[in-house]
Structures are given as structure tokens and as C-alpha cells.
A and B are shown apart, each in its own frame.
Chain A
Amino acid sequence: MPEQLDLGPHLDGNALAGPLREIFAVDVTAATSRCAACGQAGALAGLHVYASAPGMVARCPSCEEVVLRMVRTPDAAWLDLRGAVALRIPM
């Protein structure tokens, strides 16, 4: 990223636990994701989560690109994972 960054107010990936539990039966914050932008792998709980927004935006702690976006509407949950190569969910 060419710009200088001021991270601003954000949470860690544990903030995803409740909203994601609505969709997945397991606690997905223990899952490992790989960032599609820089390849860094790590627990979802380690993502930088911006929640003061129209949805939740989880960013890679290494490159700050978006890994996961989640929007809850009155009748649906939208989960955009295009910023993750894959999720490894321990079973």
C-alpha cells in the first residue's frame, strides 16, 4: 500500500465470534485464514476488525487488506470471503 496508515479504532478477530456463530455451528475464530493479498496465514482471531461501519470488516494484520466482510440485514447474512484464499476450520 503506497499510503501511510493510521490504523484507527478497531477490534481483534474475537469480535467476529458472535456474528459468525449465527452462520457456522462452530467457533470460527479458531479457524486459520490465508490472506489473498499477501499470503500471510493466521487465526481469524488475529485479524483487525472494523465494526463502526455498515458491516464488519476484518483485515489482515500484515498488509491491512480486507480478508472478510460480513453484513447482517433483517433477513440475511452476507459473508464475503474473497480476500481469503481458504479457511482451515479445526474439526
Chain B
Amino acid sequence: MSSDGTLRTIIETRKVDKRFGTFHALKDVSATFYEGQVTAIVGPSGSGKSTFLRTLNRLETHDSGEIVIDGIVLNDNLKNLDAIRREVGMVFQSFNLFSHLSILRNVALAPMRVRKMSREAAESKALNLLERVGLKNQAAKYPVQLSGGQQQRVAIARALAMDPKVLLFDEPTSALDPEMVNEVLAVMRELAYSGITMLVVTHEMGFAREVADRIIFFDEGVILEDTTPESFFSNPDHDRAKAFLSQVRHGF
């Protein structure tokens, strides 16, 4: 949110459509996301949440419709794609840390290669970010030597190293043992309050309710609900959302 209280658009999708063969994964999805907003994306398995998130940095290409990120149109133009990927960071369910690089090098690699930072500058920046996620003392280790929760915090630091305007999270805690979920959520909570724009696909309803400004409920490739956490959790409009919530409340 800017100082005068108006919302600045950061991501705009218009009638985004995506098929995998005959399977219709996204059906004319339109949504606008504003700077500083934290959006939780929820919905049943296979509803297209990951696909939607992945079209936003072109890990999946959309078939039709338009995606505009910070004024840049996402299309086959490689210049645009490079610019967008510099502004959009992503955190994956399975961390995807570079297994052959130390923690420090994992975080420093992209600033060095993409932003052409010197090694010293990139590594000192990486150390600051690792300190922010509480892992400065692990900088010399390799990903396999860290717990899942620690690896995911490194992955967040790695995404932050590019100073993205938007962070996409695809089920960042789903691959973690229960006792490690909170350390990752704590880092995400701190980020949310720092004002970065976040889109978070999650099954952590407690987190969504507490931290998100907005909830988007996906079902069979369409956005069925797009509302505030209060109204989504207390009184959803659609039966599908009610069924989903009751299922979540009773555990999977």
C-alpha cells in the first residue's frame, strides 16, 4: 500500500487459460494483486493452485489470456521474462536448494550471475539474509546437512537475495515434519509484515487466517471465492468452499 492509501497493482491476470492435453487446468482466471498484499491461495488438490502460481513466472506457459507483472507483459519475449523473473521470487514445496553448492553459495549465486554482483558483495548480502532467517552459522554447510525446516528458510533467503517485489510460495511447509513447520511460518510471518507482496499456496489455514489479507479459493481451475479471511472462514459463499473447510478442519 502506498502512503496515500491507494493500492498499486503489481500482478494482473486476465482470462488466463491453461490446458494439459485434454485436461483443463485453468479456466479464464482473472485476478488483480496489489503491492504489499499477502494472498493465501487455498483449494482442493488438483484444483490448479500450483499451475496458477507457476504461470506467473512462466514455469508453465499459459495458452491464452494476459499476465502483466509490474507493468511488464509476460509473453514469449525473453527480455520481458528475464525482467519478470528478477522481480518475482519463488519458494518450492521441495526446497530445491542447489545440492552441489554450500548454503552461502546457494544464496549468493543468483545475485552474482543475474545482478552481476561481485562475489564479496553477493556473499556479504547472503550472510545478512541468512542471519535474517536465523541460519548464519550454517553458511558453510551443504543442503543435505540441514533439516527440512532449515533448508526451506535457506530457500526463502535465496529468493530474497534477488530483492524481488513479489514472492510466490507453493506449499512451503507441506514437505516438512510437523515440528519444523512453525520455524518456516515464523520467517514468512516476518516477511509478510515487512511489506513484500506474497502469494502463498498453503494448507495451513491457521497461517492463512492470521497473516493473509486476502483468501483465494480455487476449485476445478476457477477462482470460486476471492475475499477476506474473516468472511472466508466464517461464512463462505459456495458449498464447495464449505465442504473444503469442513474437510480441512477435520484433518486430511
Q: Do A and B come from one complex?
A: no
Binding site for A on B (CB under 8 A): none
